[in-house]
Amino acid sequence: MLRSRLLVLALLAVCGTATAQAPAPADPVRIAITAARLVDPVAGKVVDDPLVLIEGERITGVERGDSIPAGYEHIDLGSATLLPGLIDCHVHLTYESGDYYVKALRESFVDEAIMAPTHAQRTLQAGFTTVRNVGAGNFVDIALKRAIDAGRIDGPRILAAGHGIGATGGHADNGGMSPWLQFEGFNGVADGELEIRKKVREQVKHGAGVIKLIATAGVLSEEDSAGAPQYTQEEMDAAVDEARRWERRVAAHAHGTEGIKMAIRAGVASIDHGSFLDDEAIAMMKERGTVLVADIYNDDYILAEFGRLNYPQKIIDKERYVGRTQRESFRKAVRAGVKIAFGTDAGVFPHGWNGRQFAKMVEWGATPMQAIQTATVNAADLLGWSDDVGALAPGRYADLIAVDGDPLADVRELESVDFVMKGGRVVKPHAAD
């Protein structure tokens, strides 16, 4: 007994000594950033000669002038334009288009897990410091988010959905293959209100911060329709109700008009794709504050590349049917004042090309400032992260990007971001530095 007590006392002494000798935490790094101008998407204006003060991972001040306080490291971006880090509300970081049958039959979620960090890094380097990942196999997106949050790999902040929840035979199910061909692993297929509620709980259990609901048929899958509802109103209601119980918002994959209206009635936070909007659907979105997330760039890529990638002709024909109408719906939504958040469906096209959608948004009715607002303040609000991202303001994360020119004069500047900082850490230095 005496020996045990002496051992405990010795261990306590060692621990006490170690605690006493541990170095004091280092003071957070202080950085001052200057540039020619700053786009303020909250106010919808440009600020000349901005001075952004950063302490640690947060912004402490946004001022005008070039008087650098003592003790600050100075990053001078010269004639560049500063913006908040961009946000993409519809990506698939674990996936990237390739040969259709190789992807379906020769690759697995292990291949996706290996490539996901590369996709995440390309996205971050393109200036997208935050994303909403709306669907991935076998919870790979949640593992990716955890690795990024822990600092083990570089990538954007991720709000992850886990699996998209959809009906048997629908867009979330593997169609077009022999019934004798079985795909193993976790999935989001659920039928009936009770199964849907359980599937929502399963996503939350494994770390999902948002729920993805497949409300209608889709384009890049082999069911016949491109937009018919794939759940009843009661099933959609159950999904949203269960998500709210767990304090999660719902993103609805919805192309067809009737399915869009059903999802809005259920109370989803966003209509993703929104290809066939009519006046009633637009009025419902405005009344209820439902956000449109329209991926209007990728039609160009699908029609140019998917034939070469051996996609079934049915899928390419559906894209021809949907693509232009989706863009016309986007233009109607802009004119009507529907709230829009930026979302590209990156993974359909190569990750890192997300910025190409800004020019399409301007081509189809948005102003450059409106397009930027969709990828900053509007997107942050949709995610529920407005206190942390989406603006350059005291208290927000120091997520900043810079482009060499003026994106309000030429929005294509956002296709080649020259400087990226995430959480006060430079992840892409300015060329001059």
Mean pLDDT of 61-81: 94
Query: What per-residue confidence (pLDDT) applies to 248?
Result: 98
Query: What per-residue confidence (pLDDT) applies to 432?
Result: 63
Q: Residue 150 half-sphere exposure, CB side, CA atoms within 13 Å?
A: 7
Nearest of 193, 68, 156 to residue 346 by alpha carbon = 156
Q: Looking at the predicted structure, is the pLDDT value of residue 254 above 60?
A: yes
433: tokens are 């530095």
- Taking the C-alpha atoms of residue 77 and residue 323, their distance in angstroms, rounded to an integer, is 39
- DSSP at 313: H
- Taking the C-alpha atoms of residue 163 and residue 189, their distance in angstroms, rounded to an integer, is 9
List beta partners, residue 421.
400, 426
Contact 124, 96 (CB under 8 A): no
List beta partners, residue 33.
52, 75
Nearest of 137, 135, 167 to residue 239 by alpha carbon = 167
- Taking the C-alpha atoms of residue 313 and residue 231, their distance in angstroms, rounded to an integer, is 26
The string of pLDDT tens digits covering residues 188-204 is 999 999 999 999 999 99
Query: What per-residue confidence (pLDDT) applies to 174?
Result: 75
What residue segments make up the domains of the chain, in order of their start?
Answer: 30-84+392-428, 87-383
Mean pLDDT of 255-269: 98
CATH H-level superfamily of 30-84+392-428: Urease, subunit C, domain 1 (2.30.40.10)
Query: What per-residue confidence (pLDDT) applies to 336?
Result: 98
Sign of the CA dihedral with 351 first, then 353, 357, and 360 last: negative
- Taking the C-alpha atoms of residue 221 and residue 254, their distance in angstroms, rounded to an integer, is 14
pLDDT band at 172 (very low <50, low <70, confident <90, very high): confident
What class, spelled out in words, does domain 87-383 have in CATH? Answer: alpha beta
Give ∠ CA 335-250-373 in degrees, rounded to 5: 40
Q: Looking at the predicted structure, is the pLDDT value of residue 11 above 60?
A: no
- Taking the C-alpha atoms of residue 80 and residue 133, their distance in angstroms, rounded to an integer, is 30
List beta partners, residue 309.
none
Query: What per-residue confidence (pLDDT) applies to 104?
Result: 86
Q: Looking at the predicted structure, is the pLDDT value of residue 178 above 70?
A: yes
Burial class (CB in 10 A: 0-12, 13-18, 19+), 212: buried
Contact 263, 292 (CB under 8 A): no
pLDDT band at 23 (very low <50, low <70, confident <90, very high): low
List beta partners, residue 164.
212
Nearest of 376, 430, 367, 426 to residue 403 by alpha carbon = 430
Query: What per-residue confidence (pLDDT) applies to 22?
Result: 53
Q: Do the strands 86-91 and 45-48 form a parallel or antiparallel pair, or are they unpaired?
A: unpaired
Contact 161, 250 (CB under 8 A): no
The string of pLDDT tens digits covering residues 384-428 is 999 999 999 999 999 999 999 999 999 999 999 999 999 999 999
Query: What per-residue confidence (pLDDT) applies to 36?
Result: 97
Mean pLDDT of the chain: 93
Mean pLDDT of 80-84: 98
Query: What per-residue confidence (pLDDT) applies to 27?
Result: 78
Q: Looking at the predicted structure, is the pLDDT value of residue 9 above 50?
A: no
Contact 131, 156 (CB under 8 A): yes
The string of pLDDT tens digits covering residues 115-145 is 999 999 999 999 999 999 999 999 999 999 9
117: tokens are 């960090």
- Taking the C-alpha atoms of residue 318 and residue 277, their distance in angstroms, rounded to an integer, is 17
Contact 396, 423 (CB under 8 A): no
Contact 386, 378 (CB under 8 A): no
The owner of tokens 């001052």 is 32
Q: Is 55 helix (H, G, I), strand (E, B) or coil?
A: strand
Nearest of 185, 138, 184 to residue 163 by alpha carbon = 138
In degrees rounded to 5, what are phi and psi of residue 239?
-60, -45
